[in-house]
């Protein structure tokens, strides 16, 4: 009896020691990551820009998927403001200029005078172009280029992820259902950019 209790105590102590050493290693790794992140500087800016591109294209991909074969009750129209706030600057400015005005003009004319020739799947992209063209400078420059725009992206990504998991019936099911893996990975990519940008902002 005493022998069994001694062995159990010895096993518990060994397990606790292993867990503590793992936690210490994680702390050291986290400190190294923060130190390397602060030393890299400009490289992190490139990383943020790259993640912004990835997040924008993931949002566009999910928008196209929703308009074609991923019909859900999720409020995917939130992808429009997400794209607005995460679109890389040169593409944003290009679409906000003369090119975007022409696209918006053609979309409005088609919608008003030829509604039968204006497919449903074009409504969200048309709304995005209109939003890009007519948004006041406060939204297009002040909020978009500040941490507020990043927080808005984070809130949208969190909401879409939790709604997608809820509709799928759990996290595991979100990877196993039809189109589950691509949708889940797309939504997770939406989450990566704002989390990374906020971490860098507050480091």
Residue-wise pLDDT for 175-192, tens only, equals: 666 666 777 888 888 888
Same domain, 81 and 118: yes
pTM: 0.69
Same domain, 109 and 27: no
Residue-wise pLDDT for 132-164, tens only, equals: 888 888 888 888 878 888 899 999 999 988 888
More confident residue, 150 or 115: 150
More confident residue, 15 or 17: 17
Same domain, 49 and 20: no
Q: What pLDDT is stored for residue 162 in this prediction?
A: 86
Q: CA–CA separation, 141 vs 124, rounded Å?
A: 22
Q: CA–CA separation, 58 vs 160, rounded Å?
A: 13
Same domain, 92 and 71: yes
Q: Which residues contact 181 (CB under 8 A, 6 or more apart)?
A: 175
Instruction: Give the domain range for residue 105.
Output: 42-202
Same domain, 9 and 50: no
Structural domain tally of the chain? 2
More confident residue, 115 or 9: 115
In this model, does residue 171 exceed pLDDT 90?
no
Q: How many CB atoms lie within 10 A of CB 61?
A: 16
Same domain, 184 and 106: yes
| Cα→Cα distances 7→14, 16, 19, 178, Å | 10, 14, 18, 49
Same domain, 100 and 27: no
Four-residue CA torsion sign, 142, 94, 63, 57: negative
Same domain, 157 and 72: yes
Same domain, 30 and 115: no
Q: CA–CA separation, 24 vs 10, rounded Å?
A: 21
Same domain, 94 and 26: no
């Amino acid at each position: 009896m005493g022998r069994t209790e001694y062995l159990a105590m010895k096993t518990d102590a060994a397990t606790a020691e292993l867990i503590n050493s793992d936690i210490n290693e994680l702390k050291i790794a986290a400190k190294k990551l923060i130190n390397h992140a602060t030393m890299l500087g400009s490289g992190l800016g490139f990383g943020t820009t790259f993640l912004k591109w990835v997040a924008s294209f993931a949002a566009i991909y999910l928008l196209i998927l929703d308009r074609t074969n991923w019909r859900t009750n999720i409020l995917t129209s939130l992808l429009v403001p997400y794209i607005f706030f995460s679109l890389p600057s040169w593409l944003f400015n290009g679409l906000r200029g003369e090119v975007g005005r022409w696209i918006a003009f053609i979309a409005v004319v088609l919608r008003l005078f030829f509604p039968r020739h204006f497919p449903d799947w074009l409504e969200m992209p048309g709304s995005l172009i209109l939003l890009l063209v007519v948004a006041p400078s406060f939204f297009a420059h002040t909020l978009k280029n500040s941490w507020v725009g990043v927080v808005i992206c984070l809130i949208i990504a969190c909401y879409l992820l939790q709604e997608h998991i809820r509709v799928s019936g759990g996290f595991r099911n979100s990877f196993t259902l039809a189109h589950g893996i691509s949708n889940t990975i797309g939504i997770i990519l939406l989450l990566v950019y704002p989390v990374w940008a906020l971490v860098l902002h507050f480091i």
